[in-house]
A and B are shown apart, each in its own frame.
Chain A
Amino acid sequence: MTTLQRRVEIKPTKPWAPSFKDLLPDLFTFVITFVAAFATVGFTPLKGKLGFSVMVIIYAIVFSALLSLIRQDGKAAVNSITTVLVYIAGLFVILPLASILYEIVKRGIGGLSFGIFTTDMAITATDAPLTEGGLLHALVGTLYIVAIATLLSVPIGILTALYLTEVKGRGAGVVRFFVQAMSGVPSIVAGLFIYAVWMIALGNSYSAAAGAMALTILMIPTVARTSEEVLKLIPNDLREAGVALGGTQWRTVAMIVIPAARSGLITAMILGIARVAGETAPLLLTMGGADALNLNPVSGNSSALPTYVWKNFMLGTETSIQRAWSGILVLMIIVLIFFTFARLVGNRQGSSK
């Protein structure tokens, strides 16, 4: 018997995928929607971008429903309407972000220069030209508060996560529940709390450290919850292997679990930083807001980027608002750098698994 060995190339086929002919009616609806919307805006009193967008939405719903009704039935028409609505909802999520990022760059870039990173506002009048003054004091303040808040909240956050995943004590359910609730504490309440403890009860003055403590309260839940998710992903085999080698729980956690989760824990830290770097309300209550550079983090009025933005916005002159937008641009760049960094670290862990 001879076997004829023939290699048959089998291409994956997708019989369900719509062909060009199937897509033609949809394309037709798409075109006619825009044509009709243009016509309506052109020949009726309805004017402007708003009128056009509204007409596009209405025509898209009407035409796609009609088409489905003609080709199929009422149920298909309802399906078409909801499909259009869902796509619009998806668009509405992207639009504000696009607008915000565009406006920040457009309005902030004008006041950006090398000079603003080297000077503060101590001797600059509120309506001085943009070439004078800068946000050095705010940048240093933000650096201080973020560093102190990280030092305080990361150990607490990771200990909380360890308690929830490794020790699993009797109170684990309650702690998890309240950590979740803590992430909803309004930032202004954190500021009031630190003011009540640090200023009223303990008699201290405004300082960067006070602001950092308020941010710590907001940062702990983010760090704790992200760390918990990360530690949950560590396979139990690793823990069992550690114990089987005669390790105590302490050594298993310190030598095996935490090193395995390292990049995830770093992600948790960075996400926490991104969460608090832009907080404004608690800092207004705890830092005092200063125009001069204050290198002492534990005493004296100081400023951070959000309070700098806020102060300049409230001054309301043309140049101060320009300064506010430039401050926002710098703040957003910092937040997005942290955000991207967290993504990169997180993704690297995901792919190496």
Chain B
Amino acid sequence: MFYEHDLPMTTTQERSFKAPVKRELVSNPRFSDKVFRKVVTSGGYVSLLILGLISLFLLFNGLTIFKSEGLKFITGFDWIVYLPEEGLPSQFGIGAMLYGTIVLGIIALFFGLPISIGAALFLSYYAPEWLKKPMVTVIDVMAAIPSVVFGLWGFFVLMPHAEYWAKLIHKYLGFIPIFDMPANAFSRSPFIAGLVLAIMIVPIVTSISREVFAQTPLDRIQAAYALGATKWTMIKSVVFPYGRGGIVGGAMLGLGRALGETVAVYTVLNLFYDIRIEVLLSAGGSVASMIVNKFGEASPDELKALMASGFVLFLATLAVNLVANTIINRTVRKG
């Protein structure tokens, strides 16, 4: 216990004091805490471990194919399997499938991105209060619909309509090479598969865009209105500049989904092992769908090639996702 008269009274005395050493604010963790932290930390690293194992196992299984095919695996169009007794080397190339996958992604973004951004704007700035919650629920439900449902819906419901739209596009825009038709085969085209993918990526792109738009500083919005801006001028000059990075990231996240989608694409797309630039023609490609398509009756060699394709797909989607998340983290989830 200290009383007042115990304390140093004069300044001279104060000077003679030595500053005490600062007390360590670190305690040694108890045994239980050490165990707890070890367990939680190892649990946290399981995801990293799984990602590492995925790339390791797929690479290991596909290694012989990468060695024998070399760069032709990425650029070649041929997928020819010879039995061992036929004595010819099998050829595996996923060039056409990679090209088809990218085309599908572009079509999906072409239709999906404007709708998603529009819907996010609608939810953030246009919709009446009572409509916002139900519509967010609708978007969440859409994100929960299994891909096989999208596939069957696309095949039985959307395809008849989409074929008609494709015929209209061909009729009026047929002079553009990509809308040209060498044969009268409008069903199961990249155009239709891209439409299904567009619907599938709308939920994720919309919710990311909405998250981005919510970050726009309110004072800037009000400043724009105070200067007499219309709603659109405000969005153009305040919301879009602030959210550009986030929208790009959301679009890339949607692209990642579109690249890896398997069952829905396989249902509505006719796989074709050559590059066709006509998007309305019933001939397209998708790496993921090809894996399911070939897996059932694959020979051991072919299985290795499928593993190699899976490895390429894994790396591509991982790269797209990493870039997308970096962009989104930088613009939206600061701190």
Q: Which residues of A contact B (CB under 8 A)?
A: 50, 75-76, 78-79, 82-83, 85-90, 92-94, 96-97, 99-100, 103-104, 107, 155-156, 158-160, 162-164, 166-167, 169, 171-172, 174-175, 177-190, 192-193, 196-197, 200-201, 217, 220-221, 224, 248-251, 253, 274-275, 277-281, 284-285, 306, 309-310, 313, 324-325, 328, 331-332, 335-336, 339, 343
Contact = CB atoms under 8 A, between A and B. Distances in A.
Contacts of B82: none
Contact of B260 (A163, A184, A248, A310): A184
Q: How large is the interface on B (under 10, 10 to 19, 20 to 34, 35 or more residues)?
A: 35 or more
Interface stretch (B9-17, B29-37, B69-77): B29-37
Contacts of B153: 99-100, 103-104
- Most-contacted residue by chain A among B29, B118, B206, B253 (CB, 10 A): B118
A171 B45 contact: yes
Contacts of B93: none
Given A97-B141, A196-B307, A284-B292, A220 B47 contact: yes
Interface in B193-243: 199, 202, 206, 230-233, 235
Given A184-B253, A201-B57, A281-B263, A100 B145 contact: yes
B317 A76 contact: no
Contacts of B292: 188, 281, 284-285
Interface string B295-335: 10000000000110010011001101110111001000000
Interface stretch (B18-26, B102-110, B122-130, B183-191): B122-130
Contact of A332 (B37, B117, B149, B199): B149
B321 A184 contact: yes
A156 B39 CA distance: 10
Contacts of B144: 274-275, 278, 335-336, 339
Contact of B40 (A166, A275, A336): A166
- Going nearest first, the 3 A-B pairs with the smallest beta carbon separation are A278-B146, A89-B118, A159-B43
B333 to A, nearest CB: 10
Contacts of B46: 156, 159-160, 220
B277 interface: no
Contacts of B232: 78-79, 82-83
Contact of B313 (A188, A253, A339): A188
B270 interface: no
